[in-house]
Amino acid sequence: MGALRINYNYQADFTLNNLRKTEYNVNKSLERLASGYRINRAADDAAGLYIADQLKTYAISLEQGTRNAQDGISVAQIAQGSLTEVYNILNDIKAKTIQASNTLDSNARAQLQQDINKLVDAIGKIFTDTEFNGIKIFGSGTVKNSTGSVSGVGKSSFVIHYGGRTNQELVMSIGFAGADAGSAGTVASAVAIGTGTGYVIDVTAQSSANASVETVDNLIKAVDDLNARVGSYQIELEKIVSNNETQRINTLEAESRIRNVDMAAEMSKFTKYQILMQSGTAMLAQANQLPQMVLQLLR
């Protein structure tokens, strides 16, 4: 039997110290179970908090990048819809140029030219009015039908920042497209795709009507080429969106492993600490009774 002392109770002090540690662990466990986080402050795991925050920031950036890319897809879809309508109108114009290439009187040619001018005017309105959020997709400018020259200005490309880092960008180069309809059945019309020489459609004479058949063919090819390029941008952006979503999900999963608590494991720890608290409290009561044994010596 060890010495009995009344001025210092080692057993009670030791038990109390362990009881305080257990209480600290109980409070920590309660905090984690209540919040669902393993890391609630930098003191819990400074390095883990840093990594988790970086991962969360990147995931948020990817989410915004995906929304940016989806805006680009919207631009491509709007442009393709308009170009499809232009293609359909050009087929009507092609039929009229072939009709005008036949032997007709001047009045009939003038009427066909007038019809073509109205169709070209519709094409011009489509190019002018097609927009995304107030931004003209095909730019704006002037097509001079006397020479077929093109003067285009305005928005001809869109920069899509699709990623969460610097320089993760895709430039959608659409270019200028416009049309200038003739004012009368004796005046030719012109359509421009891109920059450079426009496509003049003139059926006021048989020879010019015959030449316009090939001109419209080339114009249809130019529209199809532009439509295909815009479609390629959409395909690329759709792949980017898919990759962004995969990265975002995996990044959030990585962050979750670091930041979030395993509820089952933490509940097991909490149960253990509860038992230790109860037993520690009981043992502290027992330790506090040990100095009373000194009274037995005084009887």
Q: Is the pLDDT of residue 187 over 60?
A: yes
What are the DSSP calls for 3-15, one per residue?
Answer: PP-SS--HHHHHH
What are the DSSP calls for 52-121, one per residue?
Answer: HHHHHHHHHHHHHHHHHHHHHHHHHHHHHHHHHHHHHHHHHHHHHHHHHTS---HHHHHHHHHHHHHHHH
Radius of gyration of the chain from Cα atoms? Answer: 40
Contact (CB, 8 A) for 113 and 100: yes
Q: Is the pLDDT of residue 77 over 60?
A: yes
pLDDT tens digits along 153-179: 444 688 999 999 999 999 998 888 889
Relative to beta strand 131-132, strand 157-161 is unpaired
Name the band, by pLDDT with cuts 50, 70 and 90, for residue 150: low
pLDDT score of 277: 86
Distance in angstroms (rounded) separating the CA atoms of residues 159 and 162? 9
Contact (CB, 8 A) for 142 and 188: no
Distance in angstroms (rounded) separating the CA atoms of residues 243 and 239? 6
How large is the average pLDDT for residues 44-62? 95
Does residue 193 or residue 5 have the better pLDDT?
Answer: 193
Q: Is the pLDDT of residue 241 over 80?
A: yes
Name the band, by pLDDT with cuts 50, 70 and 90, for residue 299: low
Mean pLDDT, the chain, integer: 87
Residue 16, token pair as written in the block: 């109390």
Q: Where do we find the tokens 């990048």?
A: 65
Name the band, by pLDDT with cuts 50, 70 and 90, for residue 195: low
Characterise 154 by phi-psi region: left (phi > 0), alpha (psi -120 to 50), beta (else): left
pLDDT score of 60: 96
Distance in angstroms (rounded) separating the CA atoms of residues 228 and 248? 30
Q: Is the pLDDT of residue 294 over 80?
A: no
Q: What is the pTM of this model?
A: 0.80
Distance in angstroms (rounded) separating the CA atoms of residues 82 and 126? 7
Q: What are phi and psi for residue 185, nearest 5 degrees?
A: -70, -5
pLDDT tens digits along 255-276: 999 999 989 998 988 898 888 8
Contact (CB, 8 A) for 19 and 278: no
pLDDT tens digits along 201-233: 999 999 999 999 999 999 999 999 999 999 999
Q: What percent of the chain has pLDDT over 90?
A: 52
HSE, side-chain direction, 13 A CA sphere, residue 285? 5
Q: What are phi and psi for residue 149, nearest 5 degrees?
A: -75, 160
Q: What are phi and psi for residue 198, nearest 5 degrees?
A: -85, 175
pLDDT score of 185: 78
How large is the average pLDDT for residues 83-95? 96
List the 177-180 sheet strands across, edge first: 177-180, 189-193, 199-201
CB atoms within 10 A of CB 117: 23
What are the DSSP calls for 122-138, one per residue?
Answer: HHHHHHHH-EETTEETT
Name the band, by pLDDT with cuts 50, 70 and 90, for residue 140: low
Q: Is the pLDDT of residue 197 over 70?
A: no
Q: Is the pLDDT of residue 11 over 50?
A: yes
- Grouping H, G, I as helix, E, B as strand and the rest as coil, residue 184 is coil
What are the residues facing 177 on neighbouring strands?
A: 193
Handedness of CA 231, 234, 236, 238 (dihedral sign): negative
Does residue 24 or residue 248 have the better pLDDT?
Answer: 248
Contact (CB, 8 A) for 177 and 138: yes
Distance in angstroms (rounded) separating the CA atoms of residues 144 and 123? 15
Per the document, the length of the chain is 299
Which of 1.25.40.10, 1.20.1330.10, 1.20.1250.20, 3.30.230.10 is the CATH number of 54-255?
1.20.1330.10
Distance in angstroms (rounded) separating the CA atoms of residues 225 and 230? 9
